[in-house]
């Protein structure tokens, strides 16, 4: 729980330091765009306006719904349907944030796009959603990071990732996860029930590391 703006800032800076990022360092941000999602709430996304001018949309999911609803609702649920499995249904009903990435046609994105999901609170459930669309003849590198502190109480993570790569598009997708498994007596730990799926259209390429 955050009691003041100073507490939020201190917590945020501490988290970024732990993952090796500093938003004040221009040399890092010039080659990396980061969306940090803390307990299902996007608390920062970098160089968004610069990317938009280049034909790249990389914003928090609910911002995508507000500003680009025609794109979101054209693609959401097309790769992983509402009825795919129990956890996909659960996420689709109550998802709480995430990232939306849309690469326009003929765009070679030289900036690494990254989302970091942090389940920060004890006895908490996170239901983020990610939608990645790579258009014809475009390419991008996307990295997803997930972690949580060690607590005595268990946590729940139910995420959903949809990836669509169109004709001759390329996506290098990687996920790094660092979850606490709980102690030997079964106390604590994070239960992770995530649905991820990628579709490649004609001559598209998806390089997936997890």
Residue 202 has pLDDT above 90, yes or no: yes
Condensed to tens digits (0 to 9), the pLDDT of residues 12-42 reads: 666 666 655 555 544 444 556 766 666 556 6
Bigger pLDDT: 138 or 23?
138
Task: Give the pairing type, strands 155-157 and 190-192.
Answer: parallel
Hey, where are the domains in the chain? 32-209
pLDDT score of 193 more than 80: yes
pLDDT at position 155 is: 79
Using a 10 angstrom Cβ sphere, with 0-12 exposed, 13-18 middle and 19 or more buried, the burial of residue 169 is: buried
Share of the chain above pLDDT 70, in %: 74
Are the beta carbons of 143 and 114 closer than 8 angstroms?
yes
Cα–Cα distance list, 92 to 31, 85, 96, 129, 200 (Å): 32, 11, 9, 8, 22
Residue 171 has pLDDT above 50, yes or no: yes
Most confident of 8-12, 22-26, 173-177: 173-177
The answer, yes or no, to whether residue 148 has pLDDT greater than 70, is yes
Report which DSSP code applies to 157.
E
Q: Vertex 11, ends 9 and 15: CA angle to 5°?
A: 115
Burial of 35 (0-12, 13-18, 19+ CB in 10 A): buried
More confident residue, 186 or 194: 194
Residue 85: band (very low, low, confident or very high) from pLDDT cuts 50, 70, 90: very high
**Do residues 53 and 63 make contact, with C-beta atoms less than 8 angstroms apart?**
no
The DSSP line for 167-205 is TT-EEEEEEEEE-----TTS-S-EEE--EEEEEE-TT-E
Given this model, what pLDDT does residue 31 score? Answer: 58
Q: Is-contact 14 43, C-beta < 8 A?
A: no
Query: Which of 47, 144, 151 shows the shortest CA–CA distance to 99?
Result: 144
- Residues 93-130: tens digit of each pLDDT: 999 888 999 999 999 998 888 888 777 666 667 888 99
């Amino acid at each position: 729980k955050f009691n003041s703006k100073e507490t939020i800032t201190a917590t945020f800076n501490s988290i970024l330091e732990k993952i090796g990022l500093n938003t004040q360092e221009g040399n890092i941000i010039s080659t990396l765009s980061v969306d940090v999602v803390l307990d299902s709430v996007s608390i920062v996304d970098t160089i968004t306006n610069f990317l938009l001018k280049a034909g790249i949309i990389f914003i928090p999911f609910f911002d995508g719904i507000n500003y680009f609803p025609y794109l979101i609702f054209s693609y959401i649920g097309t790769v992983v349907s509402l009825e795919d499995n129990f956890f996909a249904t659960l996420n689709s009903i109550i998802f709480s944030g995430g990232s939306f990435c849309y690469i326009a046609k003929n765009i070679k994105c030289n900036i690494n796009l990254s989302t970091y999901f942090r389940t920060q609170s004890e006895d908490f459930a996170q239901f983020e959603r990610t939608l990645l669309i790579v258009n014809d003849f475009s390419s991008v590198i996307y990295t997803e990071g997930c972690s949580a502190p060690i607590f005595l109480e268990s946590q729940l993570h139910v995420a959903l990732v949809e990836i669509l790569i169109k004709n001759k598009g390329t996506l290098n997708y990687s996920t790094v996860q660092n979850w606490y498994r709980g102690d030997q007596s079964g106390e604590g730990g994070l239960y992770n029930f995530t649905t991820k799926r990628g579709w490649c259209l004609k001559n598209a390429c998806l390089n997936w590391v997890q």
